[in-house]
Amino acid sequence: MSKLSVIAGKSSEDLAKKVSKKIKADFVKSGIRIFADGESKITLNGKISERKAIVIQSIHPPVDTNLVQTLSLISKAKEISSEVIAVIPYMGYARQDREFLPGEIVTMKVLGKLFKCAGASKIIAVDIHSMIGFKHFKIKAKNVSAIPELVEYIKKMKLKNPLVISPDQGGKDRAQEFAKKLGSNYIALEKKRDRKTGKVQIKTKNVDVENRDLILVDDMISTGGSIIKATQFLKKQECEKIYVACTHALLMNDAERKIKRAGVTKIISANTIPGKTSIVDISNTIVKAI
């Protein structure tokens, strides 16, 4: 038996297989049965290493189901292995990292306690929405980025005088890093979001994007509201093609169709969440972090 084992959660099975092969670990598959009331019954197929186990599972929709499954896998691994590393390619609840409005529960604080109690000794996440969330964790926590792999994919596309754009000021550093690696320049739009309704408005007036291909860069796309508003605004500025590059493509409520209808040529995302747009593999980045 190998000194390492990779336990694959159902939501990240393909990514876990890639990681397992690269680190020459025993691969442990999860069998999941969902009862009529929504409960998960998990059966592991494979032997867990007594030395080190690596649980790989994204906490994407259904978020609560995948979270409970992840904690269950960690708990089972800890019964056998002396060290358990939890690789969470997409960390659900990362937006709930502080109390924005009075009475809001900081769910990331709850997650920090749950991961520790379940038996994780270290957490590795990919492009977590906010690093503030990790401050609530009392175990080692590391964030890695899919930007280098996304940039390499974009480079092969040979775009026309590309310009990197962040749909808001919050993503300015991400856009700057992306542009630096791409050998391009960048801008960040000004966006206003109503905290209660979630409605988005672009506050920027004019940008010089004429005759340029644009890459809208974000960490995650949920319903695509920000991307759609940014695309509609940029299309009026006489740009060429618009592409979207993100790490996590949740694409809820028919978001992919709506984004393309707004004028986006292609959505490129990492395989932190399985899906049609998840064409950039980040297994090498995860292996380095492990």
If DSSP codes are grouped into helix, strand and coil, which group holds residue 183? coil
Residue 260 CB neighbours (<10 A): 16
The number of CA neighbours under 13 Å toward the Cβ of 130 is 15
Residues β-bridged to residue 162: none
Name the one residue in this structure whose structure tokens are 């980025």: 145
Angular region, 198: left φ>0, alpha ψ -120 to 50, beta rest: left
Active-site residue (options: 160, 191, 236, 260): 191
CA 10, 67, 55, 270 torsion: positive or negative?
A: positive
Contact 204, 198 (CB under 8 A): no
Q: Mapping DSSP to helix (H, G, I), strand (E, B) and coil, where does residue 41 land?
A: strand
Cα Rg, the chain, nearest whole Å: 20
**Exposed / middle / buried, residue 65 (Cβ in 10 Å: 0-12, 13-18, 19+):** middle
Judge whether 18 counts as a catalytic residue. Answer: no
Calpha distance 201→225 (Å, rounded): 10
Burial class of residue 29, CB neighbours in 10 A (0-12, 13-18, 19+):
middle
CA gap 37, 247 in Å, rounded: 32
Q: Residues with catalytic annotation? A: 191
